[in-house]
Amino acid sequence: GAVVSQHPSWVICKSGTSVKIECRSLDFQATTMFWYRQFPKKSLMLMATSNEGSKATYEQGVEKDKFLINHASLTLSTLTVTSAHPEDSSFYICSARWGETQYFGPGTRLLVL
Amino acid sequence: GEDVEQSLFLSVREGDSSVINCTYTDSSSTYLYWYKQEPGAGLQLLTYIFSNMDMKQDQRLTVLLNKKDKHLSLRIADTQTGDSAIYFCAESPLNQAGTALIFGKGTTLSVSS
């Protein structure tokens, strides 16, 4: 099956700093990737749809200036959490569509102190 | 609107069968999915079914689809302690490549020995 990787797997940062999370499709090309956020014991909340070569499409209530998404190539999308605050602490998961299925990365746990 | 509903918890004994149920609302969904999430990990695609099928079996997993009632179920035969996880049902509205999946809130399966 298709493999999606994320880096880093976890990160701890100080409040006010920016954190970049990478999502890569390792053995397939993905024109569309998705970024989700998951709170403890909750379902996945779609944040945005990342489109290669164009602007991301953000879901209602997600601040595009805070969560910067760049899909620079067919195998890489990045999510940058700018000026992170403790309330941004969460589990961030990306996914990429391949054929009729969507494959997920292992997730990145962000803790903002 | 689009919505996917699941029961939140299921507890079974090792060796028994587990049945996780899901209802969805979008009748245009062409594919329906089951994902498994273990603690601290991303989502693992377990299986999926095309909407013109009633049943799909893959080793210990059996998926049943009642398209008329928009009801999907996942049966795990001979449930093991390693099956303890959160199981997410998801639908693909219109099966468009640029469309994210719609997830249920997840069913936490607890398997006791």
Q: So what's the pLDDT on residue B110?
A: 97
For B104, which residue in chain A has the nearest alpha carbon? A43
Length of chain B in residues, anyone? 113
- Among B43, B97, B104, beta carbon nearest to A97: B97
- Among B45, B100, B104, beta carbon nearest to A103: B45
B70 within 8 A of B23, measured Cβ to Cβ: yes
Q: How far apart are CA B68 and CA A26, in angstroms?
A: 38
Per-residue pLDDT reduced to its tens digit, B10-63: 999 999 999 999 999 887 778 899 999 998 888 999 999 998 899 999 999 999
Task: List the single range of A15-19, A97-101, B56-60, B86-90 with lowest mean pLDDT.
Answer: A97-101
Residue B110: which of B8, B40, B25, B30 has the closest Cα? B8
Q: So what's the pLDDT on residue B39?
A: 87
Residue A92: which of A76, A111, A108, A103 has the closest Cα? A108
Handedness of CA A61, A64, A69, A74 (dihedral sign): positive
Which among A43, A52, A71 is the top mutation candidate for probing chain B, defined by the most B β-carbons within 10 Å of its own β-carbon? Answer: A43
Return the structure tokens found at A46. 């779609």
**Which residue is listed with tokens 């760049």?**
A70
Return the structure tokens found at B97. 């490549």
Return the structure tokens found at A24. 């890569």
For A45, which residue in chain B has the nearest alpha carbon? B103
B6 within 8 A of B20, measured Cβ to Cβ: yes
Mean pLDDT of A106-111: 96
Q: So what's the pLDDT on residue B96?
A: 58
- Among A31, A41, A93, beta carbon nearest to B43: A93
A103 interface with B at CB cutoff 8 Å: yes
Mean pLDDT, all residues of chain A: 92
- Among B31, B42, B92, beta carbon nearest to A106: B42
Per-residue pLDDT reduced to its tens digit, A42-89: 788 999 999 888 889 999 999 999 999 999 899 999 999 999 999 999
Give the confidence band of A98 by pLDDT, cuts at 50, 70, 90. Answer: confident
For B31, which residue in chain A has the nearest alpha carbon? A100
- Interface contact flag, B98 A32, Cβ < 8 Å: yes
